[in-house]
Amino acid sequence: MSDTVLEMDGITSGYMGDIDVLRSVSLSVRKGHISGLIGLNGAGKSTLFKTIYGFLKPKAGAIRLEGQDISGRPPHTLIDHGLWYIPQESSLFSYLSVEENLRLPLESRHKQFGHLIEQRFQDTLAHFPVLREKLKSQAGDLSGGQQKSLEFAKAYMVQPRVCLIDEPSIGLAPKVASEIFQWIKHFAASGMGILLVDHNVRRVVSLSDHIYVLSLGEITASGSPEDFQGDLHAQVKEWLGITF
């Protein structure tokens, strides 16, 4: 049986009229594996995430989660299908407490998760001890690193089959960024499929089991980390069509 949990098959997508940002994009994410996506600003990485998560409806192609077509499904329904998104921008409710932010995704689905909520909440605090002493604090009062930890703690609470992670280290101190990347490895080790975008290309390559290069809305190269050995920057420049 295939261990592919998320698949984009020939996706074409854009924001208006006949302007296509993504053109016939195909990629996959496997259970317990990290698929890394690298490309220049404007390559279409954010559009790709927005299309997977239902903010944009694809014009062509299909998006499948464990074989089920989820193309264009409303974002608020995708948690029920086992898909979660940690965006570059904060998804926290700044005026709610840390505890309320943690509980909200599952409390709103109490019928499905009710018997698991308290167990997962305590388990999450055990794994994210920095949040335990901040439970009653408003999320908006946390430091940038603490807010990012809360984003990942929410994902840990939900325990999706697939997690989309967009630029997790941007704006973070190196020590905090290193902790975040350790969490991404932990998520994959627990069986979660990960699709990762980050500006630190070397870090993405070192973490990923498979890497895709996106250039001007098309996948122009893909391969294992071994395929990206040597002068990484020279290879990526060549694949992206950049002249030296």
Whole-model pTM: value is 0.92
Question: Cα separation of 147 and 98, whole Å?
Answer: 9
What's the confidence (pLDDT) of residue 239?
65
Q: What is the pLDDT of residues 70-98, one digit of tens each?
A: 998 999 899 888 999 999 989 999 999 99
Question: Which range of residues forms the domain containing residue 209?
Answer: 1-73+194-244
For the chain, residues with pLDDT lower than 50 are 1, 244
Total structural domains within the chain: 1
Asked whether residue 239 is domain-assigned, the answer is yes
Asked whether residue 3 is domain-assigned, the answer is yes
Question: Cα separation of 241 and 203, whole Å?
Answer: 22
Asked whether residue 103 is domain-assigned, the answer is no
What's the confidence (pLDDT) of residue 17?
73
Tokens of 239: 């694949």
What's the confidence (pLDDT) of residue 111?
65
Asked whether residue 150 is domain-assigned, the answer is no
Q: Name the residue with tokens 């809305």.
A: 217
Query: The CATH number of the domain where 214 resides is what?
Result: 3.40.50.300
Q: What is the pLDDT of residues 51-77, one digit of tens each?
A: 999 999 999 999 999 999 999 899 989
If DSSP codes are grouped into helix, strand and coil, which group holds residue 202? helix
Asked whether residue 118 is domain-assigned, the answer is no
Say if residue 111 is exposed, middle or buried (CB neighbours under 10 Å; 0-12, 13-18, 19+): exposed
Asked whether residue 128 is domain-assigned, the answer is no
